[in-house]
Structure 1
Amino acid sequence: MRLLHKILVGAVAVLGLAMPAMAAERAIIVLDASGSMWAQIDGKARITIARETLDSVLSTISPDVELGLMAYGHRKKGDCGDIEMLVEPAAGTAEAIKAAVADINPKGMTPLSDAVRLAAEDLKYTEEKSTVILITDGLETCEVDPCALGTELEQKGVDFTVHVLGFGLSDDEGKQVACLAENTGGKYLSAQDGASLVQALTETVAEVAQPAPEPAPEPKPAVADYNFKPSASLAEGGPDIVDDAADLVWTWYKVAADGGQGEYVGTDYYSTFKGTLEPGDYIITATMGYAIASQTVTIKAGAVAEPHFVLDAAVLKVHPRPSKGADVDSDATVNVVWPKDQTTFYGEVDTVVPAGDITLNVSIGAAKVVDSFTAAAGETVDKDIVVGSGIAQFQSEYVEGQPVEDDIYLEVFEAKKALDGTRKSVIYGYGGDQTFDLAQGDYVVTYDLDGTKGEIPFSVKTAEKTDVTIVLDAGVLAVTTPADNYVELFSATKDIKGNRQSFDYGYGPSFETTLKAGDYVILSRDAAGVDFETPVTIVAGQRNEITLTAPAVPTGKKK
C-alpha cells in the first residue's frame, strides 16, 4: 500500500508542480470510481489511497492551474452511463476537486472509454491542445473498444493526448488499456513498477505542462570552406564516380595568353575532393587510369564552382590465364592498344581506358593470343584471356645424370621449315636448366656449348608440362699453352675434299672447351708463328687436361 500511495503522490505532485507552466492547455483527471476501487493494497482500499494522494498533492498546486475532475461508476451499479463531470476545468479548482473525491463512493461499472471521450469533448479537443489523465484499476466493462477510441481521438484532435495510470493491473490487462494512451501519443504507466513509474510519469506530465518552446532562430546560411568541388563520370549522363578507391586525379593549370594550358598550379586526388583555389580562370583536367577530360573553369569569390567532367571511358579488367580454369599468370604480358595510344601491364589488369576499339596482345612466355573488341563509354569489360600454353622444361647433361652447369645456349624453333629450309625462332635462353612457356605445337630445340652443338625435336600441349632432357654425350678439354698461343680444335678425320671441321678456337695460356666424345686434333702456333698439331681424345662425362709443347723441329707451316 505504501508503495502505491507513494507512486500516486509522486505522480500527481509532478502534475501539480508542472501545471502552473500551462497556458492555453487544460487537463482533466478521469478517476475510476467503480466497485473494484474498494479492493485493498497492503490493507488499505484503493479509493482511500487515491483520496489521500490527491488531497496531498492538490494542496500544493498553483491556483493558476486549469484542472478538472471527472468520475465514473460512483452513483449506480450496472450503469454504463454513470459518468459525471464533478469539477469543470478551471483555475483554482484544487479544493473543489479534493472535496469531490472525498464524497465518492465506488459502486458501479467501468465505462472508461466513454468517460475519456466526454472529457475530450469538454476540453474541445478538436480545437485546442488538451490532455486527459485516466486513473483506473480495471478494464473497460461497457463494450467500447479503448484502442479504437484512441485512434479516433488522435485523428480528430488538434493536439490531444491521453496518459493512462493503471492500479494493480497485470501485464495482460495493462496491454488492453495501454493502446488508449499509445494511439494518442501518450504513455501507459503501471503502478506495479514503482520507481520506473514515477520517473516515467514525471517525464510525461512535465512534457504536457511545459509551455511550447520558442521557435528556434533561422539557421544562418552555411559558409562553405571550399570553392571548388568537381565531379566526373565515365559516360555522358552516367552516374558520378563516387568510389574513393578509384584512381581519379585532378590537376589544374593557369590559362596561357593564347587560351591554352599554362603554368601548373596543383594536383589532388579522389572523387570526394573539395578544394580552395584563388579566384580566376583555370584549365582543369580529370584523369582516371588512361582516360582524361579537360575544361576551362572560372573560380569566383564567394561562390562554389562545381564543374562536371565526362571521361568517355570504360573500365577494363583482364585476367590472363595459361589454360581454361587455371590461375592468373602474374608474369603474363598484356599489351593494351587503343586508337591513339597503348600501354603494357604484367599479370592481371584493372584500369580505365578511353572508349572505342581496343586490342589486347596477351603473351605468356612465347605463347601469344590477340583479342579485339569495342568498349562503350561507361561499360565494364571483364575478360578472361586464355593464352593456351604449356610448359617445356629443359635439362642439359654431359652424360645421363651429370648436369651441365655452364651457360649452354638453348633456342626453340618451330618444327616446320620454310621453303628456304629455315625455321622460325620462338624463344631462347642460357643455362642447363631452363623453363619456357610455349603455345601448343611441335618444336625443335637447338643447343650450343663451346664446340658442342645439336638439336632435339619435342612437342607441347596446352596445360601440360613436357620434360626435355638434352644429353650432350660430351666431355671437357682444358688446354695449357706456353704463352698466349692460338688454339683451334678440328676433327681428327678429313672430309672427301680433304678438309677438317673446326669446332672451337681461342688463345692460351689457358683454353677450355666442351666437345662431343671422339677424336680431335689441337692446332696451335709456336712463338715463331709455326703451326703444330696435337691429337687428343674426348671421353663423354670426363675432363681431359693437356699441356702443349712445340716440337724441337718445326713440322708445320709458318703463319
Structure 2
Amino acid sequence: MTMRSVLALLFWGAFLWVGVHPGSVCAQETQPAQEQQPESDAATAPPSGQRSVLFVIDGSGSMWARFDSPNEKRAKIDVVRDLIKPLVAPGANAARIGLESFGHRRRGNCSDVEVIAPLGSSREDVTEALDKLSPRGKGPIAQAIRTAAEAVGKDRPASVVIVNDGVDNCRQDACAAADEFAKQAPGVPIDIISIAVPPASQGALQCIAKATGGEFFDAQDPVALTAAVSEVAQRALGGGALPSAAPEVATPAAPELPQAALRATLALAEGGKPMARAVYWRVTEKDTGKLVVETNAPGIAENVKPGDYVVEAEMEGMKASAPAHVEDHAPTTIALALKASRLAVKSKGAKPKSAQSAPLVTVRDAATGKTALIGRLDEIDALVPPAKYVVTISDQQISKDEEVTLSEGQETTMAIDMKSGRLSLLAMTQANGAPIQDISFSILEDDPDSPDGRREVRRSRAPNPSFTLPAGTYYVVARSGYAEFRERIALSAGDDINKSLVLPAATLKLSAQVFGGPAPAGTQFAYRIETLGKDAHEIAHINAPTFEGLFNAGRYRVWAILEHNAASAHQDIT
C-alpha cells in the first residue's frame, strides 16, 4: 500500500510541494497456476526392464580442438562421434537411446541446451543427429543436467552419459545441479567422461558422478578416451545384448589362441594386492620396440608370440616396468610394483554444499616443500611417492596443517575436522519475500581489546554469501540503504546454517514540486531526513530531485529544500 501526503509552505516567494511516498519494498506477485500436463500413457513407456540411456555430448566450441598425440590428430568432437556411433547404431543393443547436447546452436548463449533425439527415438534419427552436431558455443553443463532430468523422466532403469571437455563456464553450479538431479531422478547415475580437463578443475565434474552414483573418467588422451567409452558402454548398455525377440544368429567358433600368453598385474608395493582400478599398459618387443599391446585395464592377459618383451604400467603419473620372457606353451605372469602410497583426504563432520565451496587441500613434501597434490577436500585420493608430507587445509580465512608419513604400499585416509561451521545469509524486508540484492553483511565477534567490545572478522556485499568460521558466537549486521538489522548467532563445529534475516524496513520514495508542478530545469533540490523522538538526529542528506531508499521502521521528519533560496517544506511520516 502506498501513502501519499502533500504539504505546501511559502518561503521567500517560492511555493514548494513535497510528496512523500513510503511503501513496502517487496510486493509479491501472484503467478497464474500452471496447467498440469497429463503423464504420458502406458503406450509410450519403455518395456519393463529395458534400459534407457541418454547421451549428452558437449557442443561447445572447444570440442573442435585437436588431439596432439602420435596416432591421433583429429578434433575431439570427431573422435567422440566415431566412438559413440557404434553404440547407438541400429541393432547395436536393446537400449532406448536419446541424444542431448549443449552449446551447439548459438555462440555465447548459456541457455543453449537441446534434447536433439528424445529417449526411444529411432537409431537412424540418433545417428543422423550425431553426424550433424557442430560445436560452436558455451558450456552450460548445469543446465544440461537439469534438462537431462526432465528428458529421463520416470524411465527405469536409466542412465545418463556426459562426454565433455571442460567445466561449466556459465557461472552455474554443476554440483548443485547434480544434487537436484539425484533428488528428481533417484537411481539414475550420471557417468561423465571428461577430455583433457586439468586436474585442478576436475572436482567441479567429479561431484556430478559422485552425487548421482555414477563414475568419473579422466580421459587425458585418445587411448584413455577410448577405454572410458568402452567401460561406460558396459555399465550403461549392459554389454549391448540384443533383445530376445531378435533373430537368432549362429555363434562363430572362438578363434584358436596362440601357444603363448602374457599376464601382468600392478600393485602399490611388491607382494601387495593387485590394483582394481584401470591402469595404462604398454607391451613392446624388447629388440625392436614395436608396440604389441596398449590398453587401459586393472591387469592384462594378452596372447603374444614367444619372445622377449618390456611391460610398462602407468597410473596417475607413476610408472613401473619389467622385462618379460614368453615361451611356447608356458603362460608368463609378472607382478609390477609402483613403489607408491595412496593418500585420501576426507572431511569429518558436515559436508560442503558443493565441490566449489569445499576447503582447498595442498599436500607438500615435508623435506623439499614441493607440492605433490592440490585439490578440494573429499576429492583428494591419489598416488604419491612414500615420504613425509604436510597437508594444509584452507577454508576462506581458516587454515590448518597436519603431517602424515607414508610408507611404500600404505593406503591412508585422513579425516579432517576443521572445527568450524558454515553460515549462509540472505536478507529480505518481509518473510518469504524477495532477497535484497543491494546489501552488505558484516560478521563481528567479541573482542575485549576493541573500543566497542567487538571486531569485524568477515564482510561481504554478495546477496547470498557463505562464510566458513571457527565455532563460536557471532553478531551479524545486515545493511541496505539506511536500514540496518543485527542478530546474534551461535555456530557449532560442523554446523551448516542457512539464515534468512527479515529487516524491519520499507522503501521511502521522495519527490518535490514547485508551484504544484514539475520543478524548472536546473532546480537544485536537497532532502534532509531526521529521526523523531527523544534522541532526534539527522540520518540522511540527499542532493537530488528524487530519491528512493530503504529505512528502518520508525518515525521520521523529511525536509525538502530549494538550494538557491533556502525555501523548504517538511512532513512527518511513520
Same fold (TM over 0.5): no
Q: What TM-score range do you get, normalising by the shorter chain?
A: 0.3 to 0.5
TM-score (norm 1): 0.39
Normalising to structure 2: TM-score of the pair?
A: 0.38
